[in-house]
Structure 1
Amino acid sequence: MYRLLIVDDEEIITDSLYDVFSSLLPDELDVCKAYSGIEAIEWMIRTRIDIVLTDIAMPGLNGLELIKKIQDYWPRCKVIFLTGHNNFDYIYKAFQMNDVRYLLKTEGYDKVTETVKEVLDEIKKSHRDNLLIEQTKEQKYAYEMMAQGDFMRHLIHKSQSVCANRTLLKSEFEQLNISLEPNYPIYFVLGRLDYPKEKSYTQRSTILSSVRSIWERQLSMQVKHIGVVDRYGDILWFIQPQKKPITGQQDLIKYLEGTLELIQEECLDSIGVHLQFTISKVIENWKSISFHYDKLRQLQQLKMGTGFPGIMKEIEDTISSAKKSVNAKQKVDILTAHLEANRVEEFFEEFHEIRTAALNGDYHQMVESYYAVALVLYSYISHYGWYEKILHQDKLFRIDEHLSLNKGFQYLEQISYDLFQIKKTEERNRATRVIDNICEYIEKHLNEDLSLVRLAEVHYFNPSYLSYFFKQERGINISEYIDSCRITKAKELLMEGDLKVREVSIQVGYQSAHSFTRFFKKMTGFTPKEYRENLQQASSS
């Protein structure tokens, strides 16, 4: 889903355009509005913007000044100037900017909507064209990426020794054409792909290549980066900002969040894959990379696995020592990752390898493997509080209650099956609860900001996926649901007869009575005044 921001200091124009575009392409266009250049900048900081439709002559921060700031945040953003000033100087300056169009307000709504649709088509075509270019590039750099990946994986696990000599490290980066600077801080972004179960190894490799291409296309303009696949099948990106225009840590994080959201959406739309991200804190010392990588993995394993494409930031070290003990062995660590990510087939494949290796070893090895797996399962049950949902889970640490160690592993396997079944049911129930909470919030806050961005912030979603998820669950667009709630509430208030139309409009989220009247007539066929008069006539007859 793409995001359109409408900016004009004349409220009636802003509200009218907002109404037009909110119903124009509800499945493709998320519409936001601002009544000043300063308010528009707040939207830019808050979320990604793809198209800006703005007046030029505004007090405080005019449209030309606004666009310069916008393109610092989101350089791919397209701009449409909509103004009543047929001024040559304005037009000349507008056309000097990249990706900018110029329309007069006198050209009417049809011309404006047609132009926005054209810009949307250009964005989509650009994505398709760039994808073809990147596919060609990928073949050329395949060998180089392989060499870079091997080196960076070695660095991940041996950072203390690999990064001991910064001069040597810089030299190796140059030889491998790695664009990162080992003397500057970095960020990690850990991405987890939710591959469809029926996909083969070759098909998964193709999906992985597509994700890499999407990432490269969306992020290459603003950051330096290199991505590697770790031993668990997840993608770890090393990231440093370019010198301009991102200057601070918070600016970089905001840029990453907005662009990662776009990557998630494109992965879902173009290749049908959910992608979850975890962003690290800034890493100043390259020698500590191994330590930070382990922390990021633990955070992802403990907090994700919902099936939704979320974006999580590392804030504090909230992982307790008890939970960290889940990572006692490499095999068990992989098992944990599969359980958290709901990868059923991979989990049991790994489980059977652990069991086979244990049963072929000595007694102490068998006991160690049993308790390691039992700890993984118990930690998961404890994390979600599923003590009463798993029958006989009290036997997890009573190995002597099993007739044999083989029977003990059969018991662990059954507990694992039960966990996956409960998780499937819980996720279905969670989806229902999430949508119910969103609907309840909408109904109670009709007079407040109900933009997709705001709803996503309140309920910890990414905005594009929230729109997709809501329609999938309820069968209608979220904007349609908001409109139905507003019209229902408006009818109730008009029925009472005490409030003025202006007061009713404010209570259902319309600051302009004119916009409310147009909305009400569109939904009911009557103006608010006509509707109230009809009610009064019906009650008196």
Structure 2
Amino acid sequence: MIRMLIVDDEEIITDGLFDVFSQLNLDLDLYKAYSGEEALDWMNKTRVDIVLSDIRMPGMDGLELMKSIRSTWLHCKIIFLTGYNDFDYIYEATQTQGVSYLLKSEGYDRIIKVVTDAIHELENSLKFHHLIQQSREKLTTLETLAQGNYFRYLLQGARAVEELEVDFRKLGIALDPSLPVLVAVGDLQRTDMHHSFAESQETALAVKFLAETFLAERTNSLGIIDRYGGLVWLIQQTYGNGTGSDESYSRTVMFLEGQFELMQQACMESMGLTFAVTICADPCQWIQLNEVYDRVRSQQYWRAGDGVQMVQTVSFEPIETAAHSRTLREKAESLAIYLEGGGREGFLHLFNELKETAFDEPANGGPFLLELYYTIALLLLSYINRWELHDKVGTTGLMQRDLHTSWQDSFKFLQNIAESLFDLRVSVERNRAAAVIEKVRSYIDEHIGEDLSLVRLASVIHFNPSYLSRLFKQESGVNLSEYIDEVRVDKAKDLLKQDGLKIGEVGAQVGYEAPHSFTRFFKKSTGVTPLEYREILRK
């Protein structure tokens, strides 16, 4: 969804434009600010795609705001509203790419037209096939495979900086081994579940190449396809010699959140592909890479809902654990991937394939069947132990094959446990999603007179705004904005029963500082003005 921020120090202009665009059928997530400083505060909280701003404002004017926007969000379209005497300002502003202007006297129709054009430009910029082609010229598929293999090599243990420098140079890795990196992990989810290995690799490569373009504005990054078929990004800042302060890293993480959201939108529109991203907000040294990667991957398991289009940012305590083994057999490793990722269909398909191969062996019931049974049993037991599911899934007989009367019964028993784990995962995700929605509802009820913007609510539960909006609609059946309006109307009706409160005071308590805005909202929702509603109550 495109996010637009409206900025003007005159409240009546800001509120009027906000109301006009709220009533249009545009795919816009709207915010408003009454000063350049307040606008900058929004820009430091979340990605903003269009800024519609007055150019002359007390304090921070439009030109200062523009420079601050450009330091973080290069793609943001800026539209200035001006008077006849502002052309000196406009000349300076329009020397910057992505900046346009309008006279305040041109009216709403003209403003809507310019904003609509900006939306179309942003949407077209997300059509990324030509970007992929440009990136392919920089990095070949062979280099990508080599870098992926090298990443797996790095995960086996620490390497000296001198060794890393040589390897990076030979493999074309544009990262500095003496500086820390940020780690992000992407979980690709295609709408078409039936695809070959080659198609999966091609999809992952397309997203990797796309990311190089989107992340190049402020970072050096390396995208890698890991053994699970997902994507891993190792990212360094490109300013301040890459050794930024905690604040600069925080700004970089915010930049990554915004860019990954744009990538998600581009992938969905062009390929029918969704993916969830988990970003570690804490830069790590190369010696910590294996632990950080494993923890970020495991963090994706603890998500609310299905995780589609989610951008999640996590922080960890200092890492002291040792690297764990990566020597699982190839087939068992594939089963583990499906089990960890919730891939029921893939797991059962491979499970049956392995079982049928074992039963077709001449020495039926021999050592291979025994090895296969305990390999899968140990995999299931490890999963149950790791997520502490003993009280939810029975494990009696799991590691005692001789308790089963036949090999058929043995593998049927394993299949039943696996299916129970998949069912439990779906149930846990639903319960976790329900708990998140309940937390959002409670916050709305308790803060109905305060800022209830999507960005604010998302910060309460540490989700990206787009994912919260989709999750709330999915779980509740109504849009988040509609729910907030319903709560405000109900609260306003209760307050209007109190004759001692003025209409303006009631409006302020449900989030409307301007009485006329509250009156317009209440009448639109109920068909009568607040005063008329109070008169009805009296009668």
Cα displacement (A) at 1:452: 0.9
Percent of aligned positions that are identical: 39
The one of 497, 500, 505 equivalent to 2:499 is 497
State the match for 2:466 in structure 1.
464
Cα displacement (A) at 1:447: 0.7
Deviations 1:246-270 (A, max 9, x none): 8522221221122223323333344
Letter in 1 for 2:6: I
Determine whether 1:40 maps to 2:39.
yes
Residues 386 and 444 of structure 1: CA distance in aligned 2, closer, same or farther (over 3 Å): farther
Deviations 1:109-134 (A, max 9, x none): 33222221111111112222xx2312
State the match for 2:102 in structure 1.
103
Determine whether 1:216 maps to 2:212.
yes
State the match for 1:447 in structure 2.
449
Query: 1:344 & 1:108 partners in 2: Cα distance?
Result: 56
Cα displacement (A) at 1:528: 2.3
State the match for 1:187 in structure 2.
182
437-446 or 225-234, which deviates more: 437-446
Letter in 2 for 1:506: A
Deviations 1:306-356 (A, max 9, x none): 43443344422599989x979773555543332232111222345457766
Residues 417 and 433 of structure 1: CA distance in aligned 2, closer, same or farther (over 3 Å): same
State the match for 1:153 in structure 2.
149
Deviations 1:366-408 (A, max 9, x none): 675255224234226x44x5724x3x43433455533466644
Gaps of 5+ in 2: 360-364
Residues 472 and 281 of structure 1: CA distance in aligned 2, closer, same or farther (over 3 Å): closer
Cα displacement (A) at 1:414: 0.9
Residues 170 and 190 of structure 1: CA distance in aligned 2, closer, same or farther (over 3 Å): same
Residues 330 and 110 of structure 1: CA distance in aligned 2, closer, same or farther (over 3 Å): farther
Query: 2:262 & 2:24 partners in 1: Cα distance?
Result: 21
Matching of residues 38-437 of structure 1 within 5 Å: 38-84=37-83, 86-128=85-127, 131-137=128-134, 140=137, 144-158=140-154, 163-164=159-160, 166=162, 169-196=164-191, 198-201=193-196, 202-243=198-239, 247=244, 248-280=248-280, 285-301=285-301, 306-317=306-317, 329=328, 331=330, 332=332, 334-352=334-352, 361=367, 365=371, 369=375, 371-379=377-385, 382-383=387-388, 385=389, 387-388=391-392, 390=393, 392-403=394-405, 407-437=409-439
Query: 1:350 & 1:38 partners in 2: Cα distance?
Result: 57
Residues 85 and 337 of structure 1: CA distance in aligned 2, closer, same or farther (over 3 Å): farther
Task: Give the secondary structure class of the aligned counterpart of 2:107.
Answer: helix
Q: Could you tell me the TM-score, scaled by structure 1's length?
A: 0.85
Supply the RMSD in Å over aligned alpha carbons.
3.5
Letter in 2 for 1:97: T
456-465 or 468-477, which deviates more: 468-477
Task: Give the secondary structure class of the aligned counterpart of 2:534.
Answer: helix
Q: Could you tell me the TM-score, scaled by structure 2's length?
A: 0.85
Contact map agreement 1:494 1:504 (CA 8 A) in 2? yes
Task: Give the secondary structure class of the aligned counterpart of 1:216.
Answer: helix
Contact map agreement 1:387 1:393 (CA 8 A) in 2? no
State the match for 2:362 in structure 1.
none
Query: 1:96 & 1:412 partners in 2: Cα distance?
Result: 67
Cα displacement (A) at 1:74: 0.8
Contact map agreement 2:4 2:49 (CA 8 A) in 1? yes
Contact map agreement 2:312 2:463 (CA 8 A) in 1? no
Letter in 1 for 2:131: E
Task: Give the secondary structure class of the aligned counterpart of 1:530.
Answer: helix
Gaps of 5+ in 1: none
- Larger relative helix fraction: 1
Deviations 1:139-184 (A, max 9, x none): 5456x23224313422432467894362x64455444433223333
Cα displacement (A) at 1:46: 1.0
User: Which structure ranks higher in relative contact order (CA pairs < 8 Å, sequence separation ≥ 6)?
Assistant: 1
Residues 480 and 150 of structure 1: CA distance in aligned 2, closer, same or farther (over 3 Å): same
